[in-house]
Chains A and B, each alone.
Chain A
């Protein structure tokens, strides 16, 4: 069975500091990988996704993620965070060639950016 593990439930960081949100997945087949962000009292929106090609994926708001197949990881990074990045971030996987639409989400990481 596929699963997604977000290693940190909460990440506090100061403004303008770099941040890395960790995500590991387990799957016996190839996967597509996603990061979504949820701002308070809102629905989720896509930050970035990896389908194929370059393992370094750039998304919106200055975020990027790197797919590492050997380590089954897809960590999200930003070199300098802003107060407005305070939100919950979800990593998700979708099976390659499997049941399209079945996104499996991690439990989320709450990023708190302090001034």
Chain B
């Protein structure tokens, strides 16, 4: 059973460029979460979807960040334009039904914005 798949695993880009992070949740899971992890702020929930619909995006830092889930097996997190302070590890997680069920995390995308 494949776990949550994220791509790319590492991304290095220059300030001002667009960055797209991708996530494939576990088949059959209907909730998907995007997290950001930094040394300063720890692990923060950015947005989560239930049945492909965004439920809570209050953690999205600003308009430069956007997330989509066009179908049950794919989600993207886009940063445009990127800034050095966006450098972090971005995790995608999925679960069967929200916060009560176990969230399964992907391996993360390590983003460095120069």
Contacts and interface: CB of A to CB of B under 8 A. Distances in A.
User: Would you call the interface of chain B mostly helix, strand, loop, or mixed?
Assistant: strand
Size bin of chain A's contact surface = 20 to 34
B31 interface: yes
Given A43-B93, A101-B99, A107 B108 contact: no
Interface stretch (A13-21, A45-53, A65-73, A79-87): A45-53
Interface of B: 4, 31, 33, 42-45, 48, 50, 55-56, 91, 93, 95, 97-100, 102-108
A94 interface: yes
A95 B100 CA distance: 9
A102 B103 CA distance: 11
Contact of A100 (B42, B44, B45, B100): B100
